[in-house]
Amino acid sequence: MAKVAYVSVASDILHEGILNVIAKAAELGEVVIGLMSDEAIATYKRVPLLSYASRERVYASLADVSRVVRQDTLSYRKNLLALHPDYVVHGDDWVEGPQSMVRAEVVELLASWGGELVEVPYTRGVSATSLEARLREFRRSPDERRGSLRRLLRLKPFLRVIEASNGLNGLVVENASVPDPVTGLARSFDGMWVSSLCDSTLKGKPDIELVDFTSRLATIQEIMEVTTKPIILDGDTGGRTEWFVHNVRTLERVGVSAVIVEDKVGLKQNSLFGTERMQRQADPHEFAAKIAAGKRAQRTTDFMIVARIESLIAGTGLDDALARARTYVSEGGADAVMIHSRDHAGDDVAAFMAAFKSEFPEVPVVLVPTTYNHLTEEELARRGASIIIHANHLLRATYLATERVARSILEHGRSLEADELCLPIKDVLTLIPED
């Protein structure tokens, strides 16, 4: 019987490096490609550009490949146990770094039936990761970017999103990455929140819909210029319905993925004031009609309108929140709901999600856990959250840091003491890539 050589593939792009690995496998036996599913890839890097079906066709058509099987996880375990291949062939680039844990498991499994891991010298300069840099331009295109939020929602159990308020902190959000404590693989943010609080505060203005849509759009464009991740706009109340429909189309056209609008009327104040400031909730049917008008105005299917429910903020309670959620989804056609709260325990939000998800299991729930931030993203996701937004932390950090430096310079009459609080000049000069 022919020997079997298993090659796992995650790349969109069939390049020379992968062909070298497959050619080596073909020398050893019948080549079975373990093609990673979109879900598996999304656990540690960007969602592929090509669908699973088209990637499968590409790999199945190679003369050296006998068949393609689906690999549903980053771990090879399930497929290796099913196939008991004689060989696994891989580039030697995974000996160290984030994939070394996956490698260790492969070695251990193969040993149990006398299989062997064969490593091919890594082909420099053609890895999917270097091609990825060139794909950035493509990912920045409005269509690609707009649709990426829905795609991610389908592929990942929950999305972690953080505020981005200008080009510079947009770059921080785009590039920040830490190893996952369990798997060792890269963990990064899935998307960006363009907050009304932060956008206003950065301009020295209160968060009362004073910063107009044209200005908000300029912020979005600035962030979009230098990043590729999906953008969720804090759309405040959405304004007059007659304006909202136009703004929805503008946001779609520039590549924003979603707008969240809150069910308030009159002078909007920031939700974290709770009932300390006079805030009025909208009539639920009128608000549903605004959302429905926005949905009808859309030119694409991938843009999302999220209904934000302020009942727990305004003190009108859980039953009101649930009734409104029902109206906004069933009557308004909202693609998702955001339930906001400033409760410190997070119990009201958990109660809302338990009830809402039993009625609408498919409708995503968005949370902004500023006050109940002792709960981890995973805990919130277990309770039913699909998108978790860290809404204002980069702005707050920036204020604290800059104010400290300003005081230090005043106190000392020179900037020497502030140096340790600042990014070194040589780093700031190279912070922004020139190409």
Would you tell me which residues interact with Mg ion (CB under 5 A)?
A: 196-197, 234
**Cα 245–Cα 251–Cα 255 angle in degrees, nearest 5:** 145
**Which CB atom, from 46 or from 390, has the smaller least distance to ligand SPV?**
390
Following CA atoms 122, 128, 134, 140 in sequence, which dihedral angle do they give, to the nearest 10 degrees? -160
Binding mask 190-229 for ligand SPV (x = CB under 6 A): -----xxx---------x----------------------
| Residue 272 CB, nearest approach to Mg ion (Å) | 9
As measured in angstroms, the least distance from the Cβ of 200 to ligand SPV is: 8
Among the listed ranges 141-149, 211-219, 269-277, 380-388, the one in contact with ligand SPV (CB under 6 A) is 269-277
The catalytic position among 190, 199, 207, 234 is 207
Indicate which of ligand SPV, Mg ion, none lies near residue 391 (CB less than 5 to 8 Å, by partner kind): ligand SPV
The mark string for 381-410 relative to ligand SPV (x by CB under 6 A, - otherwise) is ----------xx------------------
- The nearer residue to Mg ion, 32 or 338, going by C-beta atoms, is 338
**368 near ligand SPV, rule: CB under 6 A:** yes
> Smaller CB distance to ligand SPV: residue 86 or 310?
310
> Interface with ligand SPV includes 169 (CB under 6 A)?
no
Number of residues binding to ligand SPV, judged by CB under 6 A: 12
Helix axes 142-155, 241-254, angle to 10 degrees: 90
Question: Closer to ligand SPV at the Cβ: 99 or 392?
Answer: 392
348 forms part of the interface with ligand SPV (CB under 6 A): no
Rank residues 80 and 387 by Cβ distance to ligand SPV and give the closer one: 387
Encoded tokens for 115 = 């299989």
Q: Is 259 exposed, middle or buried (0-12, 13-18, 19+ CB in 10 A)?
A: buried
Binding of ligand SPV at residue 370 (CB under 6 A)? yes
Where is 149: in which H helix or E strand?
A: helix 142-155
β-bridge partners, 163? 193
Contacted entry of ligand SPV, Mg ion, none for residue 174, CB cut-off 5 to 8 Å set by kind: none
Q: Please confirm, yes or no, whether 207 is among the known catalytic residues.
A: yes
Among Mg ion, ligand SPV, none, what does residue 370 contact (CB within 5–8 Å per kind)?
A: ligand SPV
- Contact criterion met (CB below 8 Å) for 296 and 255: no
Dist. CA 217–CA 62, nearest whole Å: 47
**In whole angstroms, how close is the CB of 260 to ligand SPV at the nearest point?**
8
DSSP-derived 3-state class of residue 139: helix
CA 201 to chain centre: 24
Question: In this structure, is the dihedral angle defined by the CA atoms of residues 136, 137, 139 and 142, taken in order, positive or negative?
Answer: positive
Q: Residue 355 CA to chain centroid, in angstroms?
A: 26
Residue 348: CB atoms within 10 Å: 18
Kindly give the interhelix angle for 213-226 and 167-175, rounded to the nearest 10 degrees. 50
Listed in sequence order, the residues at least 6 apart from 190 whose beta carbon sits closer than 8 Å to its beta carbon are 152, 156, 159, 160, 161, 229, 230
Beta bridge partners of 390: 162
Q: Is 272 in the site for ligand SPV (CB under 6 A)?
A: yes
Residue 271, contacted partner among ligand SPV, Mg ion, none, CB below 5-8 A by kind: ligand SPV
Contact 373, 342 (CB under 8 A): no
CA 125 to CA 30: how far, in whole Å? Answer: 28
**Nearest CB to ligand SPV, comparing residues 68 and 233:** 233
Q: Which is nearer to ligand SPV, 118 or 259 (CB)?
A: 259
| Residues involved in catalysis | 207
Where on the chain is the footprint of ligand SPV (CB under 6 A)?
195-197, 207, 234, 270-272, 368, 370, 391-392
